[in-house]
Amino acid sequence: MKCILTFSLLFLTTVFFGQNNKTEEPAMLLDSTLVATNTMEYIDPNEIESINIIKKNTTINGVLYYGQIFITTKNPKKYDFISLDQIKSEFTKIKSNDVIYMVNGVLIKDNIETFKLDRNYILTVEVTNSNAFYNLRKNDTKFDIINILGKTKENLDSKNTILLRGHEAIGIK
């Protein structure tokens, strides 16, 4: 009887402690929307009105966060956040799940499930298949790379640049 009680107590404690996912990051709430910490890289700092930090641990969607950061913007209705999966379904025709996400040429490695971008920030979405790379053509693993170009100064300048090609001067005989 003692063995059964010990085993059941051990089983219940492992199930109880195994259910709670822990993260070392605080919960980032931008205008009451939970966003990943790397999402804040793509928010204009001049649009932030106030920041409130609460050092109380909280659990959101089964994930334990160490503190909360509430960020209020000057125009809360300006942002329309969409997830990476929504970007994939709305801006591309990709049906497979094997996808690598990039924003402005930088790989998104962490918080892919909670990473969100403002719909108004997206300039273009480029899709590259792994077959486009010579070294990966013989590989059995096939995947797509989605590069999301945002409305940064560099991207807007390169988008608005018109290249004229030719070897003759225009207007000179």
pLDDT over 90 for what percent of the chain? 3
> Does residue 156 sit in the same domain as residue 95?
yes
pLDDT at 166: 60
Number of domains in the chain: 2
Could you tell me where the DSSP H helices lie in the chain?
A: 2-18, 84-91, 153-160
> Does residue 142 sit in the same domain as residue 103?
yes
Q: Is residue 171 part of a domain?
A: no
Q: Is residue 7 part of a domain?
A: no
**100 and 23 Cβ atoms separated by less than 8 Å:** no
Q: Is residue 29 part of a domain?
A: yes
Characterize 89-100 residue by residue with b for buried, 16 or more Cβ atoms within 10 angstroms of its Cβ, and e for exposed.
eebeeeeeeebe
> Does residue 105 sit in the same domain as residue 47?
no
> Does residue 88 sit in the same domain as residue 155?
yes
- Determine the structural domain holding residue 59 and report its residue range: 20-78
> Does residue 98 sit in the same domain as residue 119?
yes
> Does residue 153 sit in the same domain as residue 113?
yes
pTM of the model: 0.65
Handedness of CA 162, 166, 172, 173 (dihedral sign): negative
Average pLDDT, the chain: 78
Q: How confident is the model at residue 77 (pLDDT cuts 50, 70, 90)?
A: confident
Q: Is residue 5 part of a domain?
A: no
Answer with the residue of higher pLDDT: 135 or 121: 121
| Cα 64–Cα 87–Cα 118 angle in degrees, nearest 5 | 70
Q: Is residue 59 part of a domain?
A: yes
> Does residue 69 sit in the same domain as residue 34?
yes
> Does residue 97 sit in the same domain as residue 64?
no
